Structure formats: C-alpha cells, structure tokens
Amino acid sequence: MKNIRNFCIIAHIDHGKSTLADRLLQTTNTISDRDMMDQVLDDMDLEREKGITIKSHAIQINYKHKDGQEYILNLIDTPGHVDFSYEVSRALAACEGALLLVDAAQGIQAQTISNLYLAIDNDLEIIPVINKIDMEGAMIEEVKDQIVDLIGCIPEEILLASGRSGIGIEAILEAIVERIPAPQGKPEEPLQALIFDSVFNSFRGIIVYFRILNGSIKKGDKVKFVSTDQEYEAAEIGILKLKMTEKKEVNCGDVGYLITGIKNAKEVKVGDTITLAANPTQEAIRGFQEVKPMVFAGIFPVVTEDFEELRDCMDKLQLNDASLTFELETSQALGFGFRCGFLGLLHMEIIQERLEREFNQTVITTVPNVSFIAYTTRGEKIQVNNPAQMPEPTAMDRIEEPYIKAQIITKPDYIGNIMTLCLGKRGILINQSYLTQTRVELIFEMPLTEIVFDFYDKLKSQTRGYASFDYNPIGYRDADIIKMDVLLNGDKVDALSALIHRSRAQDFGRKLCEKLKELVPRQQFQIAIQAAIGAKIVARETISAMRKDVTAKCYGGDISRKRKLLEKQKEGKKRMRQIGNVEVPQEAFLAVLKLDD
C-alpha cells in the first residue's frame, strides 16, 4: 500500500488537463505512442467535440521512481464544468492528492478555486502546476503569486510544465510519489470501498469503479452496497489500465472495478459504500449525498409509441450519470415522458445529445425551469418542478425561488459590463475585491432562475471570455413568479408553459411568440400563437396559411433535385410533433432558450 498514490487533476476548462493526462500516460508507457490518440481519457464522442471531460474515469499508471521502487499511480479524471461539481467531489474523495493545474496565460479561474476548496476540505495534498509555460502570453511569475496567495505554499513548490511539449512531466511524476501520502487504510478491517463512478456496458451490465479505503475484495466475494442494502457476487474484479485488467484480488488503498451482473441502473449510486455481506463495515463512507438537480425540464419521445424504449434508455443513462434524476410526467400535448432534473443547462444539453447519439432516440426537451416552492392559502407547501404543478393564482399564498451566491473573477475592465448584466438579472452585489491588481472578484446574490438560461453565454460575450464563474445555492427567498401559457390556435400547450418573474412576463411573452412564429413552419391553415397569463392574452403572432406548395418545373434535371429536397423535408417531419392539428418541430419546445434581447 505504501507504493500506491491516488490523485486527480483540478483544472479549469481549457487549462490543458486532458493533454497533461495523456502525457503522463505516454511518459510512463501506460499507453504506447501508436495507441495514442489525443485525449484518450475522454472516450465519449461528445467529450471530444465539446473539449470537456464530462464523466470521471480512472486509469492506473505504473511508474518506476528514481528511488528504484515501482509505484502504482491511480489517476482519477474529473469533469471541469460548473454543472458537474458532484462528480468532482466523489472523485476527490477517492484521492489523497491533487494536481492543481493553472494555465500560465489565464491564471486562476473561479471554477478552479471552488474545486480547490473542495480538495482542501477533503485533506488532499495539493501539488500546484503551472501549465502551458511555453505559450505566448505566459505570465509565470504573476500566476505563481496568485497560487501562493491562494494556497499559502512557497513559490519553490510550484512546478512548471507544458503538456503539449512534454516539459516538466518527469518532475510531476516525482512530486506525486514524494509529496502525496500513501493511502492510510487498514487491510485487516472489513471492506469499505467508495463507488466514485459507474458505466453501463451492454454485454457486462453495470461496471462499478471503486476505491478501497479499508479491507480488500476478492473475486467471488459476496458484497453489499450500504445505501441500498443489496447483496451481489463479485463476479469479476480488476484494476483499470487503459483497458480493464482482471485480478483475483484488489487490495486496500487501490482503485479498481467490479462487475456483478447488475442490470438495473437504480441499484448503483455514486458515493455509496461497498462492503462484504459476511463481515460488513460498521459505517458508510462520509460525504454520500443524493444528487440535487438544479434545473428541471421534460423529455418526451417525438413518437409517442417510443415511450417504453425511451424509459429503458433513461435508465441506462442514469446508470453512468448518477446526477440525472427523472420521474414520469404526463403532458396533454406530448403524452408520456419524464420530468428530468439536471445539474445545469450544459448537463441538459449533454443528456439530450447522448440520448440521440448513443441511444438513437429522437426526443423533445421542454422549457427548463428551476424548482420553486409554493405555499397555498390552505397552508400547504408544494415543490414546483414543473409549470403544471403551480397552484392556481386564487389558491396561492406566496411563492419562493432558489437563490445562489455567484462568484465571478474577471479583469477590472469588465466590471461595468458584469454589473449591468448581473443587476439586470435581479442580482445584488455583495462584495467586490481585488485578488491581484489585474484580477477582481465579484460576489452577487442572484435568483437561480436568472442564470440557468443564457447567463453563462452572456457573461462570456460581455467579457470576451475573461471571466470565470461559479455558484452555490444559498436557499429560498420570496419571489413574484407567474405561469405563462402558450396557446396554439386557442389550445393551451402545456409543454410550452414557463414559470417567469412578473416583471419579465410581458416582454418574455412577446419574444416567445415571435420566436415560435419563426420556428413553426407554415401549414395549410392559419396558426394563432398566443401567450397568456391566466385568462389574459399578453402577446399574439399569426402564422398565415401556406397557400401552395408545388414545384413548377419537373423535367430531367429537376427530378432528382426535387426528390432529394422532399426526402429531406420528410426527414424533418419525423422530428415534429402534432399538437391539435399543428405540426410543431422539436426545437420549438426550446424556443425560450433562443430568445434575443
């Protein structure tokens, strides 16, 4: 056990984490140059495209130190977006140390700070690394000062590296061995292992990734998951090389995988404790929490008959994404579907894309909202995750909305823009402080609902990308939230309803109608689009009837051109949903996310 090191990398998006990880694997021959693809750890297509790590993965590195001994370094990869802090916290709990990776040109970002605090709370040994030191615009000394201020280390402890050109990789490996403590567990105690991730494999069932804190696990052991109290046989265990490598035993302090043949997604919870059925541990590992979703939206199949298939896919997705929650939802317009809870909008987008790409589902996602709390005149307290759950105005006493504390770090030049943006989103400035001469931290309290839609994008454009943002919930406050309904040809479309602050309602309704007019194609009859609060119509647009749709000339060259055009049109129709007699395209249900100012 004294030759095991478990570590992770804390970094902001684009600060070069995946490239550095690749380099560690290459330098130690964990992966041959021939097999090397950029960012090997990011094995989902989506991750590669978006350039971010969504799911934690782990990989074992064998490293021979200059002291002559062989070490096992378990690298646990973590996501780097504000939506995924729960996954980060589980990955951190499986480690004794962390590389704090900071881009030499960009310096410390808000996201990095919050994850760093998480790591310090978990008593992790921090190894600061300044990356991309060979890039133009590198400000090594300034970034060093920031790091010293932040974690109170001495400048000499900061390593300099470039993942791209391989500078400083050996020094990082040495520091991992020398500075990060070996795991502290007791091999003779009952098994206590932390589940920090899981994936679904269509041939093997659920594969559980774990870190052993105490005891050990052998192939064939009867194991128990503490939070669910379910027992399984450890049909296969092993360690995580680039591919899974089967072992007879995985020992105290190490990281490994477990296959039990579990098929049902709900049985495996990230953060849960694995122990032995015959000799169970007395306590579960600290820090397990049910994931709290921040944003809720409906997901429905485009074709109603595909509901059961979608349910199956959602179950499978939830297996390797414990932060996705969902329950059955029925919509008059869309039929059966799910009200899903997401960590944020990016998470929602990723789930929708994964359903489409990995599971071949065509889905409609409805207007997202945060979770409100309504108090009725009869004294009931109702959690409102869905506009349909909102009590009638006459039955409503008051409503509360979730607030967050937002931390924004930027250059002083952009303070004005950020103030305008945040105050316009009902934010309250709590504090403003200079971290360094060129780096200022702004703290706002803001309604969560104001940041879930386009806040992050707006922040980026208002600051030309020179702002980083992090937030955490600070409870509920009174709010004037109303339900905005949308009617198509007089019929209320529940799937288009939205919960919105009263001060925004009129403007929101008008823009929503305009956007829907753009997105809903002309049909053979006129379509009225109306936005309403209760019985009061606040905005209206009309899509006039299509008068004709017929090609004039259809001769030699026109035929294949026209056929291809109509085939495409037919394909597009498959992604539409009939509501009453109106065909509504998939993207119209998310029109609210595309409203212009």
Partner 1 sequence: MMAGIYIHIPFCRQACNYCNFHFSTSLHYKNDFVAALLNEIQLQAAANYLQDQSIATIYFGGGTPSLLTVEELQQIMQALQQHFTVTADAEITLEANPDDVTDEKLVGWKTLGINRLSIGIQSLFEEDLQWMNRAHTAEEAKQVITKARAAGFNSFTVDLIYGTPGLTDEKWLSNINWVLQQNINHLSCYALTVEEKTPLDKLIRQHKKTDVDAEQQSRQFILLMNELQKAGFEHYEISNFAKPGYRSKHNSSYWKGVHYLGLGPSAHSFNGISRQWNVANNQQYIQALQQHTIPFEKEELTKEQQLNEYIMTSLRLMEGCDLHYVEQRFGIAAANRIRTEAVAFVSKGLLTAANDHLILTQPGKLFADSIAADLFA
Which of 559, 587, 590, 593 touches partner 1 by CB under 8 A?
559
Query: From the CB of 98, what's the least distance to partner 1, in Å?
Result: 56
Least Å distance, CB 352 to partner 1, is: 26
Number of residues in contact with partner 1 under rule CB under 8 A: 22
Structure-block tokens of residue 364: 């409609």
Residue 322 tokens read as: 């414990």
Least Cβ distance, residue 580 to partner 1 (angstroms): 15
Cβ-Cβ contacts under 8 Å for 327 (sequence gap 6 or more): 338, 339
Sign of the Cα pseudo-torsion (318, 319, 321, 323, in order): positive
Task: By CB under 8 A, name the one of 136, 248, 553, 596 that touches partner 1.
Answer: 553
Instruction: Tell the smallest beta-carbon distance from residue 584 to partner 1 (Å).
Output: 16
Q: Could you count the other beta carbons within 10 Å of the beta carbon of residue 458?
A: 18
Q: Which stretch binds partner 1 (CB under 8 A): 82-90, 151-159, 294-302, 543-551?
A: 543-551
Of the candidate residues 248, 557, 596, 597, the single one contacting partner 1 (CB under 8 A): 557
Q: Where are the beta strands (DSSP E) in 448-595?
A: 467-479, 481-488, 491-492, 498-501, 527-533, 536-543, 576-579, 582-585
* Nearest Cα residue to 124 out of 153, 93, 81: 93
Q: Identify the residue among 37, 278, 328, 566 touching partner 1 (CB under 8 A).
A: 566
Q: Tell me if 563 contacts partner 1 by CB under 8 A.
A: yes
Q: Which stretch binds partner 1 (CB under 8 A): 138-146, 226-234, 257-265, 554-562?
A: 554-562
Pick between residue 149 and residue 558 the one whose CB is nearest to partner 1: 558
Binding mask 34-73 for partner 1 (x = CB under 8 A): ----------------------------------------
373 is in an annotated binding site: no
* Residues between 570 and 589 with contacts to partner 1, criterion CB under 8 A: 570, 573
For tokens 């020398």, what's the residue?
178
Q: Is 134 annotated as a binding residue?
A: yes
Angle 415-424/455-462 helices, nearest 10 degrees?
Answer: 160
132 is in an annotated binding site: yes
Given the complex with partner 1, which of 394 and 560 has the nearer CB atom? 560
Minimum distance, C-beta of residue 335 to partner 1, in the bound complex (Å) = 20
Return the closest-CA partner of residue 103 out of 40, 180, 19, 171: 19
Tokens matching residue 489: 């040809």
Q: Residue written as tokens 């943006």?
A: 421
Minimum distance between the CB of residue 525 and partner 1, rounded to whole angstroms?
A: 11
| Rounded Cα gap, residues 483 and 476, in angstroms | 19
Q: Which is nearer to partner 1, 416 or 572 (CB)?
A: 572
Q: Would the CA dihedral through 382, 386, 389, 394 be positive or negative?
A: positive
Whole-number Cα distances in Å, 132 to 11, 102, 139, 148: 13, 9, 10, 18
Instruction: Report in angstroms how near the CB of residue 517 gets to partner 1 at its nearest.
Output: 17
Q: 486-525: which residues touch partner 1 (CB under 8 A)? A: 524
- Distance of alpha carbon 582 from alpha carbon 526, whole angstroms: 10
Binding window for partner 1 (CB under 8 A); candidates: 293-301, 335-343, 364-372, 559-567: 559-567
- DSSP assignment, residue 544? P
12-20, 160-168, 349-357, 567-575 -> range binding partner 1 (CB under 8 A)? 567-575
CB 285 within 8 A of CB 196: no
Tell whether residue 546 is a contact of partner 1 (CB under 8 A). Answer: yes
List contacts with partner 1 (CB under 8 A).
Answer: 524, 546-557, 559-560, 562-563, 566-567, 569-570, 573
Binding-site residues, please? 14-19, 131-134
